[in-house]
Structure 1
Amino acid sequence: MKPSDLHLLSDLQLVDRILGGDSQAFRLVVQRTERLVAQIVGKMITRKEDHPDLAQEIYLKAYRSLGGFRFQARLSTWIAQISYNTCFDYLRKKKLVLAGDLLENQEEEHPLLPSAADEGGIEKMMAQKDRATLLESCMQELPPVQRTLVSLYHQQELSYAEICTITNLPEGTVKNYLFRARRQLQTRLLHLYKKGDL
């Protein structure tokens, strides 16, 4: 099989090839998932110097555990779960996970922020970019778990079911964290607006 044909393979076929010793197939898995892994690591771990080591650890764990992959979820979801757990373990070891991250369930849904995606013009595009930068800055103030959930749901556009699989959290807890994160972001942005920083 030509390396260019690897892109046509399903998760099952890729795993079979990797287990058979095909390193190109694993490189393809890394390429398919590196953005998702970087997103999770970047949201959970604020020290950028640690990101490459954590990504390497994540892919090493995935490679070593591939024989146990049961195809109950997509391969990318499984690797995202390894990413989340690896980052959570890192935070736990560094004692950076706050007790406030583990809250009771609440099933309300609220939109994150109004979007300016439909507006045209270069000025409006620049204003939208500024808002995105400001939102990203405000997201850094969220606890790591909430920051990651916002990223998975709103930026990676994963479903609640996929997020629950990745984080091993009940759906109600995921919804609660997202609600609280949105509320914190909204409060912070409103404060900045009233202060004149927006």
Structure 2
Amino acid sequence: MDQKEPYRPSDRQLVERVLSGNTRAFGMIIKDTETLVAQIVFRMIAGHDQRRDVAQDIYVKVFQKLESFRFQSKLSTWIARIAYNTCINQLEKNKSTPSLLVDQILYETSSEDDTSHWEPADASDLVDELIQEEFSGLLQSALERLPPLYKLLITLYHQQELSYHQICEIVALPEGTVKSYLFRARRMLRDRIQTIYNQGI
């Protein structure tokens, strides 16, 4: 006899319980989103201690702002947006401002790379093969060399399997821009993987 799926409260129920003083409900929110938040923090922030502090700051902000959540998106997406903004603020404190992050991306992008040229990469692409191998050491090494936003987009799309719509809500960029940046990130990743691979031969 098939076992029934365990009951899970809806986003609205969890939020209402937290706002009424139920700390266990907030624990459930943390448990449901900690992997996504950890991925965002890990891709954008360097250093174990700083990552831990940023992650704590994120959930403090989530708790403080929960009353303002209007259920216009999934709760996890809203929390991911807070995580992204918190990381951007931390990078700004580290003397790497959001504008510099964008400049770094644009600097590494040729003029021919506009969004009209975006198309999904071929399924046989080396990057796809490595992604299917659960982020191998080779992929991880190449990924760490990408700009923070590119690392994040690769992670959200390929590892967290978020939709373009969800990613756009998190990083506050138009879908065409997200697709274009993701295409560029994959190409940079492929080139760097190929370079690392060739050096090892």
The two structures have a TM-score, normalised by structure 1, of 0.84
Q: Residues 131 and 139 of structure 2 are in contact (CA less than 8 Å); yes or no, is this contact kept in structure 1?
A: no
Q: Residues 81 and 169 of structure 2 are in contact (CA less than 8 Å); yes or no, is this contact kept in structure 1?
A: yes
Alignment RMSD (CA, Å): 2.2
Equivalent AA in structure 2 for residue 39 of structure 1: Q
The residue number in structure 2 matching 1:75 is 75
Q: In the TM superposition, what are the counterparts of 1:142-157 in structure 2 within 5 Å? A: 142-157=146-161
1:162-182: CA deviation from partner (whole Å, max 9, x where unpaired): 000011111111111111111
CA shift at 1:32, angstroms? 0.5
Whether 1:109 aligns to 2:136 is no
Q: In structure 2, list runs of 5 or more residues that go unmatched.
A: 1-5
Whole-Å separation in 1 of the counterparts to 2:60 and 2:196:
42
Whole-Å separation in 2 of the counterparts to 1:33 and 1:69:
15
Are the structure 2 counterparts of residues 12 and 177 from structure 1 closer, same or farther at C-alpha, using a change threshold of 3 Å?
same
The residue number in structure 1 matching 2:3 is none
Q: In the TM superposition, what are the counterparts of 1:45-194 in structure 2 within 5 Å? A: 45-96=45-96, 97-98=100-101, 99-101=103-105, 105-107=114-116, 108-111=118-121, 113-115=127-129, 128=133, 132-194=136-198
Whole-Å separation in 1 of the counterparts to 2:67 and 2:131:
43
Are the structure 2 counterparts of residues 63 and 7 from structure 1 closer, same or farther at C-alpha, using a change threshold of 3 Å?
farther
SS of residue paired to 2:129: coil
Are the structure 2 counterparts of residues 158 and 132 from structure 1 closer, same or farther at C-alpha, using a change threshold of 3 Å?
same
Whole-Å separation in 2 of the counterparts to 1:10 and 1:68:
17
Are the structure 2 counterparts of residues 87 and 21 from structure 1 closer, same or farther at C-alpha, using a change threshold of 3 Å?
same
Whole-Å separation in 2 of the counterparts to 1:19 and 1:138:
43
Q: In the TM superposition, what are the counterparts of 1:17-36 in structure 2 within 5 Å? A: 17-36=17-36
Equivalent AA in structure 1 for residue 129 of structure 2: S
Are the structure 2 counterparts of residues 139 and 9 from structure 1 closer, same or farther at C-alpha, using a change threshold of 3 Å?
same
Aligned length: 182
Q: Residues 130 and 136 of structure 2 are in contact (CA less than 8 Å); yes or no, is this contact kept in structure 1?
A: no
Are the structure 2 counterparts of residues 43 and 7 from structure 1 closer, same or farther at C-alpha, using a change threshold of 3 Å?
farther
Q: Residues 130 and 139 of structure 2 are in contact (CA less than 8 Å); yes or no, is this contact kept in structure 1?
A: no
Whole-Å separation in 2 of the counterparts to 1:92 and 1:117:
30
Q: In structure 1, list runs of 5 or more residues that go unmatched.
A: 1-5, 119-127
Are the structure 2 counterparts of residues 7 and 43 from structure 1 closer, same or farther at C-alpha, using a change threshold of 3 Å?
farther
Whole-Å separation in 1 of the counterparts to 2:115 and 2:88:
22
- Mean CA deviation greater in 64-73 or 6-15: 6-15
The two structures have a TM-score, normalised by structure 2, of 0.83
1:123-146: CA deviation from partner (whole Å, max 9, x where unpaired): xxxxx47x7111011111000011
Whole-Å separation in 2 of the counterparts to 1:132 and 1:29:
30
CA shift at 1:152, angstroms? 0.4
SS of residue paired to 1:114: helix
